[in-house]
Amino acid sequence: MTSASHQSVARSKNGFWLALLLNFIWVNLSEIWRYLVVVRPMIQAIFPAQADKAPFTLPVFMSWSVWDTWLIFAATGFYWLYLNWAGLGMKQALIAATAFTITVFGLLWLGIVNMGLLPPHFIWNALPLAWVEQAVAAAIVSWVMRQKA
């Protein structure tokens, strides 16, 4: 490997870790806000007689921390690979965010609704917010890649 290509790989690795860190901050803030402000109140309204639905306890918070970590690695990795292949424009970032959101969150919420755990209208509130979260995450990756190029 030549010195120039080694430096390019090093910049690429450093850029990925920076994008991952920025997305870790952004996605965690977004997920916590969405859970506390949108998802939890909706679930509690759907199940008013069941106070144990959507609790905000340490075990639940820790479970969401695992979910967020897994989500952030998957999203950042997908965006990094996709944008490396498709280009760093905002259009490409939005396409990547849409594909990721439909795949991950679409499957999650559709599965939950199909099991009868939540009513169908729940998807139309949760999915757009998930898309906004992921559009910002993809834009962060695109921005970092442009800075490190």
For residues 2-24, give the mean pLDDT: 73
Report the amino acid identity of residue 65: S
Q: How far apart are CA 109 and CA 103, in angstroms?
A: 10
User: Per-residue confidence at 7, pLDDT binned at 50, 70, 90?
Assistant: very low
With contact defined as beta carbons under 8 Å apart, do 129 and 34 qualify?
yes
Q: Are 31 and 68 in contact (CB under 8 A)?
A: yes
Tokens 């939540």, residue located: 118
Kindly report, residue by residue over 75-104, the tens digit of the pLDDT: 999 999 999 999 999 999 999 999 999 999
Residue closest to 123 by CA, chosen among 49, 7, 52, 39: 39
Q: What is the pLDDT of residues 123-147, one digit of tens each?
A: 888 899 999 999 999 999 999 999 9
Does residue 132 come out as left (phi exceeding 0), alpha (psi in the -120 to 50 range) or beta? alpha
Place of tokens 């994008």: 19
